[in-house]
Amino acid sequence: MMCLAQNKQQLYYALYQGKTQKIDAQGNKTGQWNTTYSEPVEVWMNISAARGTADVEQFGINDSYSRTLATDDVNCPIETDSILWIGKDPSADPYNYRVVRVAKSLNSITYAIEEVSVS
């Protein structure tokens, strides 16, 4: 599968790097965690229109994803729990999508993504 350049749209992604435990002013663990991500990276991919059916799809029935991304770059490092900025500037806005599933094939990768609300 080849993705036509005219169908690609700009987006940014940041890779999930892990969690670190929050420490209070006295140096005690709080029981809360900070999630850390890499710096945002620009990429161009095919972004599907919004989805809203409960049909049998590539990722199964009734999965909680609202759109899909497709790329012919089989070395793309995006993985589950990566965060995305679609139609937003990562230097000014919080992310608005999260990767929930990854489907790799011989010549392409499809990502199921869900919209999230981050304040």
Asked if residue 60 lies in contact with residue 112, where contact means CB atoms within 8 angstroms, the answer is no
Rg of the chain's alpha carbons, rounded to an integer? 16
Q: How many beta carbons lie within 10 A of that of residue 78, not counting itself?
A: 23
Backbone φ, ψ for residue 6 (5° rounding):
-70, -15
Print pLDDT tens along the chain (119 aa): 567 888 899 999 999 999 999 999 999 999 999 999 999 999 999 998 876 555 556 666 555 678 899 999 999 999 999 999 999 999 999 999 999 999 999 999 999 999 998 87
Burial, 51: exposed, middle or buried (Cβ in 10 Å; 0-12, 13-18, 19+)? middle
The model's pTM is 0.80
